[in-house]
Amino acid sequence: MSVYTVKQMAKLSGVSVRALHHYDAIGLLKPRAVGANGYRYYDRQDLLRLQQILFHRALETPLKDIQAALDQPGFDLAAALRAQRERLVAEAERYARLVDVVDRTLADLEGDVTMDDKKLFEGFDPEKQAGYEAELVERYGEPMAERIAQSKAGMKAWDKTDWASFQQEAAAIEHDMAKALAQGLPVDSGPVTAIMRRHWAWIAKSWNREPTPDAFAGLAHLYQDNPEFTARYEAIAPGLTEYLAEAMRAFAEKR
């Protein structure tokens, strides 16, 4: 009565026959018996195990780990679930952030603002974002962490117009720096200093607070060390990353 063929198991559980073959092959779920004809026969215990498998699979646990969880008697399921929970929370947040990115990009598109000014402030690749922050905090201590939090809080309240003007100013600064570089102006010359004043103000706006000279110079390093920034600047003009960084350091020293 309670013996099922592959097809029946598939219908009862919602997985494919191929998946059952696969689970058999990797030893995750072996049928209770195999006939002389090679047919797989499952029973209710197998069905129960399959249900457990599906539970873990829905949480995106690798099949290997599921096997380990189900086969080891003293396995700490609660601990594993708590670990999974963290992962899932992180994923949920990641996707929420990506939605934000798309929203801002769409706002850009519909507002007809130039399309290329979105890379810097998008917040995708949160690991790297976290990396920047960790770097800044390590270099400048706890107060920096607070500043970052302030910055985030402040920027959250911005509307689309704020973002658009913010990005336009960034583009303008970059454009002017590229021109200065092309003209061979020294980084401590008057015009470049003027641009740096605008950059300083722009940073102050994004941080919701005046940067210290040290932090400003540290940002220059950050620009040089991280691909997100170098790619952006190098794409505008070759050598712009270093030129900008030098200009920032020169400006910071005068403060």
Partner DNA sequence: CTTGACCCTCACGCCACGTCAGACCTGATG
Partner DNA sequence: CATCAGGTCTGACGTGGCGTGAGGGTCAAG
Contact between 98 and DNA by CB under 7 A: the answer reads: no
Query: How far apart are alpha carbons 201 and 193 in whole angstroms?
Result: 12
Q: How many CB atoms lie within 10 A of CB 27?
A: 10
Structure tokens at 174: 């970059």
Shortest Cβ 239–DNA spacing (Å): 18
Tell me: does residue 181 bind DNA (CB under 7 A): no
From the CB of 42, what's the least distance to its own copies, in Å?
Answer: 11
Q: Are 203 and 220 spatial neighbours (Cβ–Cβ below 8 Å)?
A: no
Number of residues in the chain: 255
Distances (CA, A) of 230 to 6, 39, 180, 193, 224: 56, 60, 18, 21, 6
Residue 8 found at the interface with DNA (CB under 7 A):
yes
If you compute the radius of gyration of the chain from its CA atoms, what whole number of angstroms results? Answer: 28
Contact status, residue 192 vs residue 186, Cβ threshold 8 Å:
yes
List the one residue from 21, 44, 82, 255 that touches DNA (CB under 7 A).
21
Distance between CA atoms of residues 6 and 184, nearest Å: 75
When asked if residue 14 is in the footprint of DNA (CB under 7 A), the reply is no
Least separation in angstroms between CB 136 and its own copies: 18
Check residue 112 and give left, alpha or beta (phi > 0: left; psi -120 to 50: alpha).
Answer: left
Contact segment (CB under 7 A) with DNA among 60-68, 78-86, 93-101, 175-183 equals 60-68
Which of 1-9, 76-84, 132-140, 230-238 is the region at the interface with DNA (rule: CB under 7 A)? 1-9
Check residue 80 for interaction with DNA (CB under 7 A): no
CB-nearer residue toward its own copies: 109 or 130: 109
Residue 74 sits at φ, ψ, to 5 deg, of -95, 25
Minimal distance in Å, beta carbon 200 to its own copies?
A: 26
Q: Which is nearer to DNA, 37 or 72 (CB)?
A: 37
Shortest separation between residue 154's beta carbon and its own copies, angstroms? 24
Contact 16, 57 (CB under 8 A): no
Q: Binder to DNA among 13, 29, 40, 211 (CB under 7 A)?
A: 40
Under the criterion CB under 7 A, does residue 52 sit at the interface with DNA? Answer: no
Does 62 help bind DNA (rule: CB under 7 A)?
yes
Tokens 């063929």, residue located: 5
CB of 147 to its own copies, least distance (A): 25
Residues binding DNA (CB under 7 A): 5-8, 15-19, 21-22, 35, 37-40, 57, 62-64
